[in-house]
Chain A
């Protein structure tokens, strides 16, 4: 059971008490109705406007936004396994690093075009994900977190050890001429920042869309059922082993994809740079801060973890930023366990609800009170609370 379940079941109860006198959301928007389409169109337009505004920012800001998108992709990956499947992982820095190093090595040693390295980076991270997922069959909860912690710790060690391939502790530099935007974009080498910005934005959008569909799919339901009650899920025919391992694989693949982009973005890789346990903790912080098991949470969380160190830099330098992170994490668990998006989602759902077209409250018009309260969209628990 995750924190999100508690909050949603609470909101269920709240609207449940209003069964006699409907007191649910003020506006109901029917799914796929013109009004729903219009709302979606407005949101997409707003996103595009925001992106265009961001693309016009100076190079330094642009790089920060790119970093946000890349971290967001990584957090989306983490969200699959930790948010939707309920398996704790603090080892995702290893997937991130594997993606980055795959891209770096393929470009430097085998002269791949940067974009062509992405499939391999994703594949390797997927396989590593399956491997890390294996222990999750027998090991539960905090034990699994310990195993993933060890994965996070051993990644930099292995990189340092495989010196011929990775450059060892000294790291490796990808020359910027290798990282120039491809010709078909019409961008020149000096415009790498804007190219990386649009590339990461596009990849993030695609990944978020795919994950949205994945979560709604049969497999997504299996993931959430496994999280909410493993035994009940198994009794209902969910293959727990397959679900967990595959979820880890997909999660690793997405985070590896983020790592691959990060390799292109940063250009210089070192084992102690961005692939240590601290990165994994940063990803977890982003996930919790944005909202576990929400679709926009990773993006919001990524914004926070990228910009927070900058904002606090004036009064918190160096190690103090670590203290800020620690305090923030603990405070979040106490004050806002559902995260920013989770909390906002609860507020929004009080006002607006999106319901399927055969929803009772709509078909019954205003003749009699609805037999059931409208279920909030998004991530409702599939089984009753334990």
Chain B
């Protein structure tokens, strides 16, 4: 029972991390209808910036705010300078730009900060004794932080999309950017804001996850998370916030249980199981579980 609870907690925590990054993917998809393959590496890069600030003896919270701001600016700049000029051409062009960003950002982090792993300080005490006991299982504070951040973010994003003018404009642009433009929405600004937001959310996911991750902050830290997060986003259909969260948590818990109880899969086939989840879901429901059906006009 204790073991089960501990697994569940690990699963929920990992799942919340996947869900955070999945939210970032969903925000971009809702705004522009494209998938940001560089999302994980963008988060990695901003996390490195946060880590670097803490080594320059800035307090952690300033480092995190700086990472969020950098994420926002980078996201908006990427949209404006790299994605928008090629988006009208085709998917291939967007994909290749994203792949370029993917390898470029990752290697750039390696060039600037070196490839050895770093320890990112946590916002809350995360020593071995900093936990609440929950029916014998340990619930660490930094895991709680991630859960809290996810809940707050989900509420904020829902409020943003449902109850603010900005959110309304974002939905309008995603739905039909030409009509939105004709109706007076400043489409280009909305797009940039969407990417900026997702950059900031990714940055948040990055700084929250690295104190938890087994491998700490290295060049490969975000990769697995990105794969799982895209599986989560696809699970929810790429345009549903709740779907992304449900997807992220499902994948996190499933993964923790598989690793714990099915010894054949063990720790080695994590990403492969994420792959099978993606493919299975897309096969049954190409639009995900919570996604909107898109109608193709001939």
Question: A interface vs B, CB < 8 Å?
Answer: 1-3, 6, 82, 86, 88, 90, 135, 138-139, 141-143, 145-147, 149-151, 153-154, 157-158, 160-161, 231, 278, 281, 284, 288, 292, 318-323, 325-330, 332-334, 337
Contacts and interface: CB of A to CB of B under 8 A. Distances in A.
B149 interface: no
Interface residues of B, number: 49
B282 A154 contact: no
Given A153-B227, A326-B100, 19 more contacts: A142-B37, A149-B230, A153-B271, A154-B272, A157-B272, A158-B272, A161-B266, A231-B296, A319-B111, A322-B108, A323-B108, A326-B99, A328-B100, A330-B100, A333-B86, A333-B93, A334-B85, A334-B86, A337-B89
Contact of B111 (A143, A150, A320): A320
B90 A1 contact: yes
Contacts of A142: 34-35, 37, 91, 94-95
B97 interface: yes
Contacts of A319: 107-108, 110-111, 115
Given A320-B107, A323-B104, A326-B101, A150 B274 contact: yes
Nearest to A292: B92
A157 B273 CA distance: 10
Contacts of A151: 275
Given A146-B234, A319-B110, A90 B272 contact: no
The 10 closest A-B pairs by CB, nearest first: A326-B104, A322-B107, A329-B100, A319-B110, A150-B275, A154-B272, A330-B100, A326-B103, A141-B91, A142-B35
30 contacts: A6-B89, A82-B92, A88-B92, A135-B283, A142-B35, A143-B282, A145-B91, A146-B234, A150-B274, A153-B275, A154-B275, A157-B269, A157-B270, A157-B271, A231-B298, A278-B103, A288-B96, A318-B110, A318-B111, A319-B111, A320-B107, A321-B107, A322-B107, A326-B108, A327-B104, A329-B96, A333-B96, A333-B100, A334-B85, A334-B86
Contacts of A3: 89-90, 92-93
Interface string B262-288: 000010111110110011001100100
Interface in B67-97: 82, 85-86, 89-97
B99 A329 contact: yes
Contacts of B266: 161
B297 to A, nearest CB: 9
A319 to B, nearest CB: 3
B161 interface: no
Contacts of B104: 322-323, 325-327, 329-330
Contacts of A90: 95, 99
Contact of B282 (A1, A147, A161, A321): A147
Given A142-B35, A145-B95, A322-B106, A327 B100 contact: yes
**Is chain A's binding surface mostly helix, strand, loop or mixed?**
helix
Most buried by B among A1, A86, A157: A157
Interface of B: 34-35, 37, 82, 85-86, 89-97, 99-108, 110-111, 115, 223, 227, 230-231, 234, 238, 266, 268-272, 274-275, 278-279, 282-283, 286, 296, 298
A129 to B, nearest CB: 15
Nearest to B231: A150
Contacts of B268: 157, 160-161
Contact of A337 (B93, B99, B286): B93
Contacts of A1: 90
Contacts of A88: 91-92, 95
Contacts of A288: 96
Contacts of A154: 269, 271-272, 275
